[in-house]
Amino acid sequence: MNQNAVRELLHRMADDALIIAHRHSEWTGLGPLLEEDIAFSSIAQDKLGHAQALYQLLHEFGEPDPDTNAFMRNAEQFYSCHFVELPNGGYDVSLIRHFLYDTAEYLRYAALAQSSWEKIALLARKVAGEIKYHLYHARTWVIQLGAQGNEESAARMQSALNEMWPYALGMFEPGNTDAELAADGIYPGESEIQRRWLELVKETLDKAGLVIPSSADPVYGGRKGYHTDYLQPLLDEMTEVYRIDPSAEW
Amino acid sequence: MATIISLDPRITRAQLPEEEPLTHEPKPEMDQFQTFEVFHQQKSGARHVHVGCVHAPNAELALLMAKEQYGRRGQTYNLWVVCTADILTMHSEDADIFATTPDKKYRDVAAYMVRNKVEAFKKEQQGGTEA
């Protein structure tokens, strides 16, 4: 097993999960409905749990412990895509991002459940139910607001989709070691996941009456350490308390 | 028989005395979603227990919300949601139908002193073998 290739994969997934968990959690207390506020906050907690489990695997490869890895790096040391860094905007944008991101997560973890690396396969099988609910939650809302709401809700969902689409494609920025991961049976690689993602995303968007933007250039760079101006302020806020005393027991 | 409009106090409001003039604008009808009653099942085959309600525009979203409101802690196998307005119930003034039921002890299992009889029988059997 190529350890560097696996570490790169784990970092992409862990950093994405950590950053989107923080963005989702910014809705806590501000959600559009009490019930939805609680559901979305729970999903954010789950994402944080997935990030922690992935950082734990990295720790076993000799990286710092999960807290240090999550809270003591600067923006340029992150592998997250720009898609998860963007500010929340309206709830329409957050829901579309949640839907596009979790469709990808669902496929990534489904592929990893079959991985030749047993440790990641075990983790993928353990969280399968949580991810299934995240996708179920996202799909239900997208179809509700796209096809079963009113003109305004459909227009807002379409506009959010148009806005997010190029960034969503950035989730699949090709990794340097994709071919090796695929050859070892560890992970099929980003272009294969993107192909499956387009199919699955389209299935729901068709039901929601929403249209995939016809042409869009994917926004790459995050996997190489180039980030939007939004990431560092997010990290500063997220780690504010932790950095006061990194050795504190919680 | 009557239909529950809602068990939620935000929808079924307190009956204010009529003579007092309202100091605020009354809320418009249906300014929020209807409610769905949630029934929680802990294990496969176990009974579904009523645990509360959620607001939702339809049953599908109600089930989605119920998962987090009532399935986020402890063990859950399944959930049901039922539109509150679909539940047929009795008027509270008809509660007197049940007034004398607690007196009918002969319908309670506890009213039958089976244990005494079983013990008496065992004693009798033991006495028989000893003899």
Residues of A with CB under 8 A from a CB of B: 33-36, 38-39, 42, 133, 136-137, 140-141, 144, 148
Range of the domain at B57: 2-100
**How many domains is chain B built from?**
1
Half-sphere exposure of B66 (CA within 13 A, CB side): 28
User: In angstroms, rounded to a whole number, what is the distance separating the alpha carbons of residues B55 and B39?
Assistant: 14
How many other CB atoms sit within 10 Å of the CB of residue A170?
19
Percent of chain A at pLDDT exceeding 90? 93
Whole-Å CA distances, B10 to B7, B13, B30, B59: 9, 6, 11, 20
Q: Are A66 and A55 in contact (CB under 8 A)?
A: yes
Flag if B54 and A35 touch (Cβ within 8 Å).
yes
Q: Which residue of B has its CA nearest to A137?
A: B64
pLDDT of residue B41: 97
Q: Is residue B67 part of a domain?
A: yes
**Domain map of chain A by residue range?**
3-244
Query: What pLDDT sits at residue B7?
Result: 72
Q: Looking at residue B130, what is its pLDDT?
A: 54
| A206-A211-A214-A217 Cα dihedral, nearest 10 degrees | -100
Residue B30 has pLDDT above 80, yes or no: no
The DSSP annotation for B57-85 comes to SSHHHHHHHHHHHHSSSS--SEEEEEEGG
Q: What's the rounded mean pLDDT across residues A75-103?
A: 97
pLDDT for the residue numbered A161 = 98
Global pTM value: 0.84
- A3-244 folds as Ferritin (1.20.1260)
Assigned domain for B117 exists: no
d(CA A177, nearest CA chain B) in Å? 38
Distance between CA atoms of residues B33 and B74, nearest Å = 28
B65: nearest CA partner in chain A: A35
The set of residues, in sequence order, having a beta carbon less than 8 Å from that of B125 and lying 6+ positions away, is none
Q: What is the mean pLDDT of residues A115-134?
A: 97
What mean pLDDT comes out for the span B74-85? 96
B54, part of any domain? yes
What CATH number does the domain containing B67 carry?
3.10.20.520
> Who wins on pLDDT, A211 or B5?
A211
Mean pLDDT of chain B: 86
Contact state of A140 with B54 under an 8 Å Cβ cutoff = no
In this predicted complex, what is the ipTM?
Answer: 0.84
In the chain, the amino acid numbered A129 is: G
Kindly tell me if the per-residue pLDDT of B131 is higher than 60: no
**Residue B11 falls inside a structural domain:** yes
